Amino acid sequence: MKEKVLKCSKLDSKDGVLLDICFFCFGFVISFAKIAGFMSPFCLSLSMALRRRPSIFSLFGSIFGVALFLTADNIIYIFILLIAMCLKFVFNFNGSLKNGIFSSISFLIPQIISIVMFPVGFGTLLTIYFESILCGIMAALFTQSSKKFSVNLRFKGYDVFGVFILAVVFLISFCNINFIGFNVGRIIAIFFIIQAFLLYGFSYACVSGVIITIGFALFTKDFAKFGVVLAVSGFMAGIFRYAGKVFQIIMFFTTYIFCCIFFGGLNVQSVLEVFLVCFVNALLPKKYLLNIFSNAKAQQKSDRVKLNDEISLKLKFAANVILDLKNSVSECAKVMDSLVGKGFDGVYENVAENLCRGCRLNTNCWVNSYGELSRSFCYISNFLKENGSITIQDMPVFLKNKCFKLQNLVQHLNFAYKEYLCNEQNSRRINEARAIAAEQFSGMVELLYELSGEVASIKSIDSKNSNIIKNILKSNDIVFKGIFCFLDEFQRLTVDVYVDLLMDKDKLEKLTLIISRAIGKDMEFPTVTKAFQNYKISFFESAVLGVDFAAVQATADGGKYCGDTYDYFMDGRGFAHIILSDGMGSGKRASLDSLMTCSTLRKFIEAGFGFNSALKLLNLSFAIKSKEESLATIDTCTIDLYTGQTNFLKAGATTSYIFSRGYVTQLHSKSLPIGIIQGIGFDSENVTLFKGDVIVMLSDGVICDPEWISKTLKSLYAKNAKDIASELLKMAKTFEDKDHLDDITVLVAKII
């Protein structure tokens, strides 16, 4: 069983073997780290901080490293590492405290034996004591820090300190390695500090310089001076981050030469090392450096995108579950209808079962004279459908002469027909309820699909700008419930601020300006969405395009109420929306239907829903809001102000017109208005618009010839939206039918 488990384990794979080799090299390199030239507890501390298998290989590497440069002073470290290996293999301890205690024990056991055999002075005893304490503390720190490498590199508190110490230890380790006259530790230090100021500026260069200086100071005082010069050079180069990579590298090298001359200690070897590393970095494209040193950040961003994709998949799966449920219910309803429903034939089956079956003369009617009986029942069917009931006098001659239970037959027919009518009425109600339920299911499915797409479009969370905006709101005494800053797939910033109290327009304009300056992006005046007593204020980046919008109306025969309602607004994602609705007829009722259509659609769109789910839910609300028939047309236009991509959706609406680059395009609709039947859909059309293009949307009160409208639009396109709308309204009034007056609405949107 054990052999099977080992065969299936990751560590017996090729990757596991490579990992073992890496940990061996890990221990080998760190065995060179010495403080003050003789204290070397780090290889033991780091190896003990690892799990049992990597710890064993790391200890092997450390033993090999110590044995490679074996002296009388460090021979005892081999015994220390062997004891540590035995303890780790037998007890397999993993906790921070246990690793620290056993590290100190492993260090002290051979030292105590050595002291007993070869007595030493008080100073040596004190050094051994402090080195054992340092060994235990380092093991505990390294254990805690190593756990964080599996949690997206998010270090907090003393975890950061552990990583800081680890970086210093590795730097010290490489300072003991020389290759063809060049010091590996110095080259690594130069390389890292150059990456710091190239990618992140002077602040990161300062932090890197401090770490390097501390590491060099713990190694030797000569290296400490070199670390200080590197830190100063990195700081000066980081100041000129926006001047370009080549200029920064030249500034770094020039500052290094100047500091070496000023502080003393200029030597050809170190200058050559700095020059070679600078030359390599100047040739290496910056994008490759970013990939190397922004690995953790990229991983976190990748994880966030992956999480969004997973949530999107969950929403899609939930939509498919509801869709499957809808289909199952529909199939079940069809089967039940086929089993239960008998239609009008059920009336005669009722009579045959309850009256004719017990009659001794039923053979004369149902067998010998079945043709005459069928014709008689056909006559009765038509009579019942026209009059609702039948009497003896209305019965056909055949039954008057043949049936001696004529009175009972009439009673059974009338009763069975009333029962049939009741069942039909109930069936219609059930079918209407089914249709409404199916529409609800469809609306929920569309809503989940749209939410899935919206979640998937959020590619990253902008925490930096979120914190900046939070501080701005607090400094302006604005109470907020939450802030959500994110970038979409086009790297466009959206900021949603949730508040209970809405500020006035002047304060919103001032806030928009402050936020734009603080984050370095031009933000549009925000859109505001209200849900109960809560508000969502949405800021988005200023778009390339704008819209000059105008609308004019004329009521039928100068009436008080207009049956057409329109709306124009911006959402929080850089889209402009135009909605036009024409209620059935004219007057107050038509006005209410169209007003409900526009206001409901706007609420859905501002809340983040798409038009497809909004249409289904709106159609459902029309079906249940009134006992009487109620319907309205929908004509919408959505313009992406970043790209010019425009989507037109129509439900029963009249023709719209687009003037673009000298040509006029007509958009027609074949779909029905909402409120007539369940399961309606939009007619959809996508176009790309440019600056100067004009959109004209009309209600069905405009009965002008389409070609005439196109010609007029070509002559008016250079004017502003208000003038174009006014001219088209005048033209529509001259062509209206005086016998069949209707409300007229003209909407014009010009891309600017």
491-513 pLDDT per residue, tens? 788 888 888 888 888 889 899 99
Please tell me the predicted confidence (pLDDT) of residue 455: 65
Q: Which helix (H) or strand (E) holds 568?
A: strand 564-570
Say whether both 551 and 536 belong to one domain.
no
Please tell me the predicted confidence (pLDDT) of residue 185: 83
Q: What is the DSSP letter of 352?
A: I
Q: Is residue 592 in some structural domain?
A: yes
Residue 730: pLDDT band (50, 70, 90) is: confident
Residue written as token pair 């906790």:
95
Residue range 559-583, pLDDT digits in tens = 677 888 899 988 767 789 999 988 7
Say whether both 664 and 593 belong to one domain.
yes
Give the CA count within 13 Å in the CB-facing half-sphere of 510: 9
Choose from 26-30, 266-270, 546-550 the range with maximum mean pLDDT.
546-550
Choose from 43-52, 254-263, 313-322, 561-570 the range with maximum mean pLDDT.
561-570
Choose from 228-242, 250-264, 513-527, 713-727 the range with maximum mean pLDDT.
713-727
CA distance 505 to 510: 9
CA distance 626 to 623: 7
CA-based nearest residue to 563, from 625, 633, 636: 633
Residue range 191-237, pLDDT digits in tens = 888 888 887 777 777 877 887 888 777 777 778 888 888 888 888 88
Q: Is residue 163 in some structural domain?
A: no
Say whether both 524 and 580 belong to one domain.
no
Exposure string for 581-603, b = 16+ CB within 10 A, e = fewer = bbbbebbebbbbbbbbbbebbbe
Please tell me the predicted confidence (pLDDT) of residue 723: 92
Residue 8 pLDDT > 50, yes or no?
no
CA distance 568 to 607: 15
Widest Cα–Cα separation across the chain = 141
Say whether both 131 and 48 belong to one domain.
yes
Residue 719 pLDDT > 80, yes or no?
yes
Q: Is residue 112 in some structural domain?
A: yes
621-628 CB contacts, 8 Å cutoff, 24+ apart: 621/596, 622/593, 622/674, 622/675, 623/432, 623/435, 623/436, 623/439, 623/675, 623/678, 624/436, 625/596
Q: Where among 293, 311, 336 does a domain terminate?
A: 293
Residue 131 pLDDT > 90, yes or no?
no
Please tell me the predicted confidence (pLDDT) of residue 591: 77
In terms of pLDDT, which residue wins out, 54 or 616?
54
C-beta separation of 241 from 197 below 8 A: yes
Q: What is the DSSP letter of 148?
A: G
Residue spans of alpha helices (H) in 492-610: 505-519, 588-606
Rg of the chain over CA atoms, in angstroms? Answer: 42
Tokens of 217: 């100071």
Residue 270: pLDDT band (50, 70, 90) is: confident
Say whether both 66 and 92 belong to one domain.
yes
Please tell me the predicted confidence (pLDDT) of residue 319: 59
Residue 548: pLDDT band (50, 70, 90) is: very high
Residue 152: pLDDT band (50, 70, 90) is: very low
Residue 585: pLDDT band (50, 70, 90) is: low
Q: Is residue 335 in some structural domain?
A: no
Residue range 460-503, pLDDT digits in tens = 778 888 888 988 998 888 888 888 888 876 678 888 888 888 88
Q: Is residue 568 in some structural domain?
A: yes
Say whether both 507 and 587 belong to one domain.
no
Q: Is residue 300 in some structural domain?
A: no
Q: Where among 428, 452, 481 does a domain terminate?
A: 428
Residue 657: pLDDT band (50, 70, 90) is: very high
Range of the domain at 624: 547-751
C-beta separation of 635 from 650 below 8 A: yes
Say whether both 656 and 697 belong to one domain.
yes
Residue 94: strand, helix, or coil: coil
Tokens of 170: 């590795």
In terms of pLDDT, which residue wins out, 314 or 327?
327
Say whether both 483 and 581 belong to one domain.
no
CA distance 231 to 242: 19
C-beta separation of 721 from 548 below 8 A: yes
Please tell me the predicted confidence (pLDDT) of residue 646: 93
Please tell me the predicted confidence (pLDDT) of residue 720: 92
Domain total for the chain? Answer: 5
- Say which CATH number the domain at 740 has: 3.60.40.10
Q: Which helix (H) or strand (E) holds 100?
A: helix 96-117
CA-based nearest residue to 489, from 517, 519, 453: 453
Please tell me the predicted confidence (pLDDT) of residue 687: 92
Please tell me the predicted confidence (pLDDT) of residue 150: 44
Residue 448 pLDDT > 70, yes or no?
no
Q: Is residue 298 in some structural domain?
A: no
Residue 161 pLDDT > 60, yes or no?
no
C-beta separation of 172 from 35 below 8 A: yes
Residue range 22-71, pLDDT digits in tens = 888 877 877 777 765 556 677 777 777 777 778 778 878 888 877 776 66
CA distance 206 to 209: 5
Lowest mean pLDDT segment, chosen from 427-431, 561-565, 603-607, 625-629 = 625-629
- Other CB atoms within 10 Å distance of the CB of residue 152: 11
Residue range 65-110, pLDDT digits in tens = 777 766 666 677 778 878 877 877 777 666 777 777 878 888 788 8
Phi-psi region of 745 (alpha: psi -120 to 50; beta: other; left: phi over 0): beta
Say whether both 370 and 414 belong to one domain.
yes
* DSSP notation for 628-645: S---EEEEEEEEETTT-E
Residue 336 pLDDT > 60, yes or no?
no
Q: What is the DSSP letter of 356?
A: I
Say whether both 552 and 535 belong to one domain.
no
Say whether both 410 and 515 belong to one domain.
no
Tokens of 603: 């609420």
Tokens of 36: 């003050």
Mean pLDDT score of the chain? 76
In terms of pLDDT, which residue wins out, 308 or 273?
273
Residue 137 pLDDT > 90, yes or no?
no
In terms of pLDDT, which residue wins out, 242 or 119?
119
Query: Percent of the chain having pLDDT more than 90?
Result: 7
Please tell me the predicted confidence (pLDDT) of residue 577: 92
CA-based nearest residue to 189, from 166, 213, 206: 213
Residue written as token pair 């030292």:
111
Residue range 209-221, pLDDT digits in tens = 887 888 777 777 7
Q: Is residue 165 in some structural domain?
A: no
Q: Where among 540, 564, 596 does a domain terminate?
A: 540
For the residues 386-414, what does the mean pLDDT come to?
82
In terms of pLDDT, which residue wins out, 353 or 665?
665
Say whether both 599 and 680 belong to one domain.
yes
Give the CA count within 13 Å in the CB-facing half-sphere of 361: 9
